[in-house]
Amino acid sequence: MRKMINFVGPRYIFIGISLTVIALSIVFILVKGFNFGVDFAGGTMITASFNKTDLQVGDVRKIFSQADPAFANASIVKMTSITGANANTRSLFDLTVKQFYNAAQKEKLYSAVQSVAAKDNLNVKFESFQTVSGYAAASLRQSSMWAAIIVVILLLIYIGIRYRFVFGIGALASLAHDLIITAGLFSMFWITFDSTAIAALLTLLGYSLNDTVVVYSRIRENLKKMHGHPIDEIVNVSINETLSRTINTSLTTFIVVFTLFLFASSVLRPFAFGMSFGVVTGTYSSIYIASPILIGWLEKRRKSLAKR
């Protein structure tokens, strides 16, 4: 028989650590807030190309801020270079500014940027120009909030149907743990919080719940097979029996999303960031939050049944 890792023994230590991290995350969210993206705050996203491949972010910021001071604090990311039909290589930059430009303002900005760039013998083109009004951003924020609420309700209904109440409490605690900590990381590291970040959080909830359900299913099986054994032993055995599956699934998922985070464009980075850390918190909560939280409830239930 293989050696069992004692996961539930130090459970109070890990629950204490989790509560501390959750409190810290809430403080960051309330005090620092989120770095809302254009689709949540309104503004403009521009992909600009230049005929100079060694151009740096600072150079582009200088050009655009001279054309419009609003770009002094814009988010600018250098992308990979592209080669046009005439074999000329151009460098690409993604610019995000929280200011709305209508058609006339866009033409004025384009002319001003071209004029400034021409002083350094640079040719600039707007490869894409997307704007989101404040009204549209507010509507999208509201829609995202309702989507999150509906997802949580559906997940809780699923847990309620498949398992009894005590399991639902553990699953809910696990989901809240993952959601708050991952959201706190967005605030802490000032990662853009946009619709892709919401997609990451909702995907994370489903991923975390799936991991928890696997462990819960084994606990439910072992409650029958190991009848009479201490509850903490049953839970610990169940975690160990599903550990290899949990690690394999989490590790392969983490490798994919973390690689995406390192090499993806600025559009996908919020999603990849949320999933990278979310996979870690989801795996942790399935082992140290969702499962150990059952022990006290199941022990009380066993004692109440014994008294009947």
pLDDT recorded at residue 85? 55
CATH of domain 11-37+136-307: 1.20.1640.10
For residue 59, what are its two tokens? Answer: 């150079």
Residue pair 170/16 in contact (Cβ under 8 Å)? The answer is: no
User: Domain boundaries in the chain?
Assistant: 11-37+136-307, 43-132
Residue pair 281/25 in contact (Cβ under 8 Å)? The answer is: no
Residue 201 to residues 61, 144, 179, 183, 283, Cα–Cα distance (Å): 32, 11, 7, 8, 14
For residue 73, what are its two tokens? Answer: 């604090």
176-220 pLDDT, tens digit per residue, is 999 999 999 999 999 989 889 999 998 998 888 888 888 888 988
Work out the average pLDDT over 54-76: 93
Confidence check: pLDDT of 246 > 70: yes
What ranges in the chain are assigned the alpha helix state H?
A: 11-31, 38-41, 57-67, 103-118, 134-162, 165-188, 195-225, 231-241, 243-263, 269-285, 292-307
- The total of other beta-carbon atoms located within 10 Å of residue 123's CB is 13
Q: Residue 227: in which H helix or E strand, if any?
A: none
CATH of domain 43-132: 3.30.70.3220
